[in-house]
């Protein structure tokens, strides 16, 4: 089941402006990578179905793929 997308706090434009670049789910953990073309900002969103925890954070553009593949390492 795919979670309903939440407006990201990291990017302050409307939901229509933000583009989802990548999405994956593994063992109940949903990871999304977003890009805002207006501000040229990239952000990461992580939802854990098992614990109900959620976090979002800005991502350096040159680290976007690493952040998407290893969100907990990037956040730490």
With H, G, I as helix, E, B as strand and everything else as coil, classify residue 50: coil
The count of structural domains within the chain is 1
Q: Is 71 a member of any domain?
A: yes
Residue by residue, DSSP assigns 29-72 as EEEEEEEETTTTEEEEEEEETTT--EEEEEE-GGGHHHHHH-HH
Q: Which residue from 17, 22, 40, 47 is spatially nearest to 32, judged by alpha carbons? A: 22
| Domain around 56 | 20-75
Q: Is 36 a member of any domain?
A: yes
Mean pLDDT of 72-76: 94
Q: pLDDT for 3-49, tens place per residue?
A: 444 444 444 445 568 999 999 999 999 999 999 999 999 999 999 99
Specify the pLDDT at position 4.
44
Q: pTM of the entire structure?
A: 0.76
Q: Is 8 a member of any domain?
A: no
Q: Is 35 a member of any domain?
A: yes
């Amino acid at each position: 089941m795919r979670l309903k997308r939440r407006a990201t706090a990291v990017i302050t434009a409307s939901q229509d402006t933000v583009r989802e670049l990548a999405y994956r789910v593994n063992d109940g953990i949903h990871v999304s990578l977003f890009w805002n073309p207006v501000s040229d900002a990239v952000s990461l969103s992580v939802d854990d179905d098992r614990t109900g925890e959620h976090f979002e954070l800005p991502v350096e553009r040159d680290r976007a793929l690493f952040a998407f593949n290893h969100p907990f390492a990037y956040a730490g």
